């Protein structure tokens, strides 16, 4: 069963988490129960809502009209299970729970069966692909001209943000969505990130160069460049023919990046050797992707998107399970070395994740740092996570997971050095 | 931004920003135009990221262990709810914690620091615990947390008492008295006379915590303070010590003034009071006072203990209670004893019994009011067994339900809450239910709201969880009423207030 911290990490936002906590007492519930497959209960709100949770992946269903997922009732049920598991006695599943769980099981089995492939008109498909690439190349030409004008006139222009937005819209129209999103993110950077902003514009030039030469690139490089410009592999292709990695992967944490149109939800998985994988989902509004409780593990097979430094994955055949041992490195330098190796394979790989044991969070010149036993320190990105980690760990040793770009760490989660993996808390 | 390449791109290549390709990349770059500059800057950034040598910093001393208790998980959840979505209750929640000497969990402290306004700093500091003080030592932005008083550390209390504001000194002195009464009194006596009168009065009152016979010499010295208010407080404290010199003097004076004839209480208050009595607080009434005898009787009661009156009367407590209630001095004596916080002792139970009998006999409103005040004072001193014997009479006195409720001492037993709930239910059942769209009748839930508010305030002031149950029962009755669905905010607010108290006190 999940801890309260893990349930918190499943909430779509802090207001939902608070609302879920309010419903985390038995007084709000009736007909509570649990089985090996799920939890359920009827929540007394302005109406009586039937709430059920699948223990396989913590998906939930509720009869409430909320568009958030999981809704506050499902979170409340999980908070209740975390705080007072005895309130949920082992019982036979009522019909409304059994039907839903059976339905989910059937869907999962159907998904596992290879789907019948429809006949493909390869000629038409190739024609469509050519047309799209032509449109993208035309869009890239216009973008490059604008970029060069920008460099000629200097980046210190008051309307740079607006120019970046306009350029992003042009790329979006040219079906180069990923590159358009990159321009939006560059536009969202603060003035203090000017160096990073310039470096990112340089990478845009690289991607334009490489996409023009895509026919001359190796398959891996072509896939990498295509993905960064906006020609991603389809999920079915990845699951059918992507490289596979099997084993147990620690769910280090989930971070969310708000874009103008989409929210990027990044779930970081770490294998025992320290290699990190990224499960990426692009979501609209308050929608949530698959639920991954930080601190748990997935066991099974991951399918990798094709790339030079393959990092992005889909879960092919996996199941959630409690973590026995957190796969942690011993020094910050090990994490930086792994990231450098990743960069050597692909310069577009901007972040890696790592989990390092016996770290302390320290304060130095009014900012927060990760600090290892050898004295090496990595600054923590500005935000509330640094203060939270500093207060919660009190500069005592902890195993801490973080995503980083070699310069700065974004904290994902932690467990104190002498605490079991089940105490993992998201940051 | 000092990097020449970055500088060139920021200024603009056509505006004089010269671009020299870095030596490392020179052979790989073609031309010196914008494309080459952009390629170069991306390559350099990539090299820097891959070859970065991280900083080295000294380690930090870890935070010391916490000395204060924190909340259990369900109360932590509640506090998080308050921090996130019910911030109007934050002040109250933190006050409850501070009164209990508890600290907030570290994760909640981070939330509070992220969102707390400057005016909340005092509240937050009081519940920040050791971790908060440690944070204040290491992060300049939170340096204000350094001053948070430790509840269980005499050294810090001593420092706060020496350097803090009056409010902080008061809090520290109370805490210190509880830890080490003698050291705290000695510290107070050192520079006592240098403080202004209002500060002296507030600090002196703190000696109520841990008051003991060895405080008497200091109190005796303060009885001659230059401020009358401070003198009065010192006398009140000294009179609480049965063996003190002032208690003995007052017993002798009472013996001179008090007479009992045929079980009737007589006080000889007409003769002028001796001049040396003034030093013990027995002052002549002001000129033109409407009732000089009443003034003197009340003064006498303030400075004497009921046990001395009982002993001088040579009556049994029940007889004395009867005599007292029949006396013309009843109100003066009861209000004087109540003001001085005197202990009624064996007199309390017969007094309540006598007053209950008189309530049932329906006296005039004025006397009811006086007797209710007297009965409240007496009931507050009953032990649980005596109180239970009185309860039924109080509750079932016909026509006196409001008085009876007002007199109920704490904790209420189940019977009391059941009767109160039944009375409230009956009252609410008489409320007409308006049709949909019509306004709710005004003040429908006022009695219930007032009761809950009173109980919760009492719970906080006395840090007494026994007030929670009556509030909860009241809320349950209100929740049954069909109108409550139309006043959701009322219900939600009350429930949250109630939960705060239940969770934090239990």
Residues of A in Cβ contact (< 8 Å) with B57: 362, 364, 369, 371, 375, 377
Domain definitions of chain A by residue range:
4-109, 126-229, 233-427
DSSP B438: S
Residue closest to A193 by CA, chosen among B133, B191, B304, B1? B1
Predicted ipTM of the assembly: 0.78
DSSP string for residues in B307-333: HHHHHHHT--HHHHHHHHHHSTTHHHH
pLDDT at B2: 56
Interface residue A178 vs chain B (CB under 8 A)? no
- Alpha carbons within 13 angstroms on the beta-carbon side of residue A227 total 23
Give the other-Cβ count within 10 Å of B497's Cβ.
19
Query: Which residues of chain B register pLDDT less than 50?
Result: 398-399
| Beta pairing partners, A33 | A40
Interface with B, mutate which of A16, A146, A151 (most B CBs under 10 A): A151
Question: In whole angstroms, what is the distance from residue B356 CA to residue B328 CA?
Answer: 19
| Interatomic CA distance for residues B79 and B98, integer angstroms | 13
The answer to whether A155 faces chain B, any CB pair under 8 Å, is yes
Residue A67 has which token pair? 């568009």
Q: Is the peptide bond prior to B411 cis by the omega test (within 30 degrees of 0)?
A: yes
Nearest CA in chain B to A391: B106
The 3-state secondary structure of A69-100 reads CCCHHHHHHHHHHHHCHHHCCECCCCHHHHHH
Which of A79, A85, A391, A408 is the mutation pick for testing B, counting most B CBs within 10 A?
Answer: A391
Q: How far apart are CA B298 and CA B330, in angstroms?
A: 10
**CB B170 within 8 Å of CB B203:** yes
Closest CA to B42 of B27, B56, B22, B62: B22
Q: Please tell me which residue of chain A has the smallest CA distance to B11.
A: A154
Cβ neighbours of B73 in A, within 8 Å: 4, 83
Do the Cβ atoms of B49 and A363 come within 8 Å? no
| H-run or E-run covering B476 | helix B468-480
Q: How far apart are CA B455 and CA B477, in angstroms?
A: 15
CA-closest candidate to residue B468, choices B498, B445, B496 = B498
Nearest CA in chain B to A17: B81
pLDDT at A108: 79
- Taking only the tens place, the pLDDT of each residue in B394-438 is 665 544 555 556 666 666 666 667 776 777 777 777 777 777 667
Residue A94 tokens read as 């009522």
CA dihedral B487, B489, B494, B500 (to 10 degrees): 160
Strands A38-44 and A48-54: antiparallel
CA distances from B219 to B77, B230, B233, B237, B301 (A): 47, 10, 9, 7, 20
Chain B residues touching residue A202 (CB < 8 angstroms):
38-43, 45
Residue B185: per-residue pLDDT: 92
Chain A residues in contact with B56 (beta carbon < 8 A): 375-377
- CA dist A300 and A319 (Å) reads 7
User: Can you give the pLDDT at residue B382?
Assistant: 77
At B134, list the tokens: 């440690």
- State the nearest Cα–Cα gap between B208 and chain A, in angstroms: 38
**What's the pLDDT score for residue B180?**
83
Interface check A343 vs B, CB under 8 A: yes
pLDDT for position B486: 64
Dist CA A202 CA B127 (whole Å)? 50
pLDDT at A97: 92
φ, ψ (nearest 5 deg) of residue B332: -65, -45
Q: Does A76 touch chain B (CB under 8 A)?
A: no
Rg (CA), chain B: 34
- List CB contacts (< 8 A) between B51 and chain A: 340
Do A376 and B56 count as a contact with CB atoms less than 8 A apart?
yes
For A95, residues 6+ apart whose C-beta sits below 8 A from its C-beta are none
* Interface contact A25, partner B, CB < 8 A: yes
**Which of B305, B318, B324 lies closest to B267, judged by CA?**
B324
In this structure, the strands spanning A352-364 and A367-371 are antiparallel
CB contact under 8 A, B78 and A21: yes
Partner-chain contact B34 A148, CB within 8 Å: yes
Facing B49 at nearest CB: one of A21, A156, A406: A406
Q: Are the beta carbons of B57 and A375 separated by less than 8 Å?
A: yes
CA dihedral B177, B182, B188, B189 (to 10 degrees): 160
Cα R_g (chain A), whole angstroms: 23
Its pTM stands at 0.66
| Contact call for A384 and B39, based on CB within 8 A | no
Q: Do B13 and A332 touch (CB under 8 A)?
A: no
Residues of A in contact with B54 (CB under 8 A): 332-333, 336, 376-378
State yes or no: cis peptide before B278, omega within 30 of 0: no
**A155, B12: Cβ pair inside 8 Å?**
yes
Beta pairing partners, A329 = A356
A17 in contact with chain B, both atoms CB, cutoff 8 A: yes
A395 and B60: CB-CB below 8 Å?
yes
Closest Cβ opposite residue B139 in set A202, A366, A406: A366
CA distance A373 to A377: 10
Q: Contacts of residue A333 in chain B, CB cutoff 8 Å?
A: 54
Q: What is the pLDDT of residue B359?
A: 67
* CA of A127 vs chain B CAs: smallest distance (Å): 31
Which of chain B's residues have a Cβ under 8 Å away from the Cβ of A196?
45
Could you identify the residue written with the tokens 């202004």? B196
Q: State how far the Cα of B40 lies from the Cα of B3, in Å rounded to an integer.
A: 12
Residue A167 sits at the chain B interface (C-beta within 8 Å): no
How many Cβ atoms are within 10 Å of B285's Cβ, its own excluded?
Answer: 17
Select from B258, B257, B238, B261 the least CA-distant residue to B248.
Answer: B238
Residues of chain B found within 8 Å of residue A148, distances taken between Cβ atoms: 33-35
Per the CB < 8 A criterion, the answer to whether B402 and B457 are in contact is no
Q: Which residues on A lie below 8 Å from B34 (Cβ)?
A: 147-148, 151-152
Residues of A in contact with B55 (CB under 8 A): 369, 376-379
pLDDT, residue A26, reads: 79
**Which residue in chain A has the smallest CA separation from B492?**
A22
* Residue from B58, B60, B67, B493 whose CB has the most chain A CBs within 10 Å, to mutate: B60
Residues of chain B found within 8 Å of residue A378, distances taken between Cβ atoms: 54-55
Rounded to whole angstroms, what are the CA distances from A282 to A135, A262, A312, A400, B325?
23, 6, 13, 26, 82
Measured between CA atoms, how close is B483 to chain A, in angstroms?
14
Nearest-Cα distance to chain B for A280, in Å, is 23
Contact A362/B at CB under 8 A: yes
Asked if B1 lies within 8 A of A376 by C-beta distance, the reply is: no
* Touching B: A residues 78-107, CB under 8 Å: 79, 83
For A372, nearest residue in chain B (alpha carbons): B59
Q: Which residue of A has its CA nearest to B52?
A: A406
Going by C-alpha positions, the residue among B101, B67, B96, B98 that lies closest to residue B178 is: B101
Tokens 């006379």, residue located: B193
Q: Does A407 touch chain B (CB under 8 A)?
A: yes
Q: Do A148 and B110 touch (CB under 8 A)?
A: no
Residue A280 to residue A254: CA distance in whole angstroms: 10
Distance in Å, alpha carbon of B55 to nearest chain A alpha carbon:
5
A–B interface: beta-carbon pairs under 8 A: 185
Indicate the Cα dihedral angle B395, B399, B403, B405, nearest 10°.
Answer: 40
Identify the three-state secondary structure at position B12: coil
Neighboring chain B residues of A201 at a CB cutoff of 8 Å = 38, 41-42
CB contact under 8 A, A18 and B54: no
| Contacts of B271 by beta carbon, 8 Å cutoff, 6+ apart | none
Please tell me if residue A325 touches chain B, with a CB cutoff of 8 Å. Answer: no
Distance CA A197, CA A191 (A): 9
Low-confidence residues of chain A, pLDDT below 50? none
């Amino acid at each position: 069963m999940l801890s309260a911290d893990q349930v918190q990490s499943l909430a779509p936002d802090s207001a939902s988490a608070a609302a879920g906590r309010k419903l985390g007492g038995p007084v709000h519930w009736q007909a509570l129960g649990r089985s090996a497959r799920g939890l359920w209960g009827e929540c007394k709100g302005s109406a009586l809502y039937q709430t059920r949770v699948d223990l396989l992946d913590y998906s939930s269903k509720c009869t409430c009209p909320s568009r958030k997922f999981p809704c506050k009732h499902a979170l409340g049920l999980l908070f209740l299970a975390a705080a007072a598991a005895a309130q949920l006695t082992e019982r036979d599943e009522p019909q409304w729970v059994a039907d839903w769980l059976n339905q989910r099981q059937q869907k999962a089995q159907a998904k596992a069966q290879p789907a019948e492939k429809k006949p493909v008109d390869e000629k038409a498909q190739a024609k469509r692909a050519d047309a799209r690439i032509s449109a993208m190349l035309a869009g890239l030409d216009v973008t490059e001209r604008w970029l060069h004008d920008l460099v000629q006139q200097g980046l210190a222009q008051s309307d740079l943000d607006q120019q970046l937005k306009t350029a992003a819209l042009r790329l979006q129209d040219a079906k180069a969505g990923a590159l358009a999103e990159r321009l939006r993110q560059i536009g969202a950077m603060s003035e203090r990130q000017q160096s990073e902003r310039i470096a990112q514009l340089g990478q845009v030039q690289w991607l334009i160069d490489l996409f023009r030469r895509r026919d001359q690139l190796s398959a891996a490089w072509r896939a990498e460049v295509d993905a960064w410009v906006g020609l991603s592999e389809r999920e079915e292709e990845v699951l059918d023919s992507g490289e596979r990695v099997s084993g147990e992967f620690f769910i280090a944490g989930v971070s969310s990046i708000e874009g103008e149109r989409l929210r990027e939800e990044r779930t970081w998985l770490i294998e025992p050797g320290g290699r990190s994988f990224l499960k990426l989902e692009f979501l609209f509004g308050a929608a949530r992707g698959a639920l991954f409780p930080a601190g748990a593990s997935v066991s099974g097979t991951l399918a990798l998107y094709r790339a030079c430094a393959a990092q992005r994955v889909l879960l092919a055949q996996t199941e959630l399970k409690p973590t026995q041992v957190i796969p942690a490195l011993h020094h910050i330098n090990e994490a930086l070395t792994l990231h450098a190796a990743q960069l050597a394979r692909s310069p577009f790989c901007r972040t890696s994740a790592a989990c390092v044991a016996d770290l302390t969070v320290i304060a130095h010149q009014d900012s927060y740092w990760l600090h290892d036993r050898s004295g090496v320190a990595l600054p923590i990105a500005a935000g509330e996570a640094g203060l939270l980690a500093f207060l919660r760990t009190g500069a005592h040793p902890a195993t801490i997971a973080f995503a980083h770009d070699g310069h700065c760490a974004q904290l994902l989660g932690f467990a104190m050095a002498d605490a079991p993996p089940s105490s993992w808390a998201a940051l | 931004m000092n990097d020449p390449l970055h500088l060139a791109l920021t200024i603009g290549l056509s505006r004089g920003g010269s671009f020299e390709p870095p030596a490392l990349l020179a052979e790989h770059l073609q031309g010196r135009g914008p494309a080459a500059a952009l390629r170069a800057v991306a390559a350099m950034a990539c090299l820097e990221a891959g070859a970065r040598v991280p900083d080295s910093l000294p380690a930090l001393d870890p935070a010391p262990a916490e000395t204060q208790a924190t909340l259990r998980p369900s109360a932590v959840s509640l506090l998080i709810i308050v921090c996130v979505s019910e911030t109007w209750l934050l002040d109250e929640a933190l006050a409850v914690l501070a009164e209990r000497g508890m600290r907030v969990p570290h994760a909640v402290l981070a939330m509070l620091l992220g969102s707390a306004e400057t005016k909340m700093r005092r509240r937050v500091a009081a519940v920040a615990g050791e971790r908060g003080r440690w944070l204040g030592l290491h992060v300049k932005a939170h340096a204000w947390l350094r001053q948070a008083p430790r509840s269980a550390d005499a050294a810090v209390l001593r420092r706060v008492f020496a350097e803090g504001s009056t409010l902080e000194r008061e809090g520290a002195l109370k805490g210190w008295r509880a830890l080490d009464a003698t050291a705290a009194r000695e510290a107070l006596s050192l520079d006592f006379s240098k403080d202004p009168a209002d500060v002296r009065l507030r600090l002196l009152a703190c000696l109520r915590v841990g008051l003991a016979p060895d405080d008497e010499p200091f109190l005796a010295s303060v009885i001659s303070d230059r401020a009358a208010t401070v003198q009065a407080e010192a006398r009140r404290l000294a009179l609480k010590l049965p063996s003190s010199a002032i208690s003995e003097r007052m017993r002798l004076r009472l013996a001179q003034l008090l007479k009992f004839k045929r079980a009737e209480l007589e006080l000889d208050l007409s003769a002028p009071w001796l001049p040396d009595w003034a030093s013990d607080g027995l002052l002549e009434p002001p000129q033109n006072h409407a009732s000089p005898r009443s003034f003197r009787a009340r003064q006498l009661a303030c400075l004497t203990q009921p046990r001395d009156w009982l002993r001088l009367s040579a009556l049994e407590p029940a007889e004395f209670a009867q005599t007292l209630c029949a006396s013309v001095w009843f109100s003066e004596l009861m209000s004087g004893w109540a003001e001085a916080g005197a202990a009624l002792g064996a007199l309390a139970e017969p007094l309540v019994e006598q007053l209950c009998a008189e309530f049932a006999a329906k006296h005039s409103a004025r006397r009811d009011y006086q007797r209710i005040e007297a009965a409240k004072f007496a009931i507050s001193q009953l032990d649980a067994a005596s109180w239970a014997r009185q309860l039924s009479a109080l509750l079932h006195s016909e026509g006196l339900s409001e008085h009876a409720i007002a007199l109920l001492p704490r904790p209420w037993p189940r019977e009391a809450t059941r009767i109160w709930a039944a009375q409230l239910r009956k009252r609410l059942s008489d409320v007409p239910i308006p049709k949909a769209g019509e306004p709710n009748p005004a003040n429908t839930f006022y009695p219930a709201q007032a009761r809950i508010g009173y109980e919760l305030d009492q719970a906080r002031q006395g840090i007494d969880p026994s007030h929670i149950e009556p509030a909860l029962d009241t809320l349950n009755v209100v929740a049954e009423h069909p109108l409550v669905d139309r006043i959701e905010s009322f219900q939600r607010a009350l429930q949250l207030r109630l939960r705060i108290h239940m969770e934090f006190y239990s």
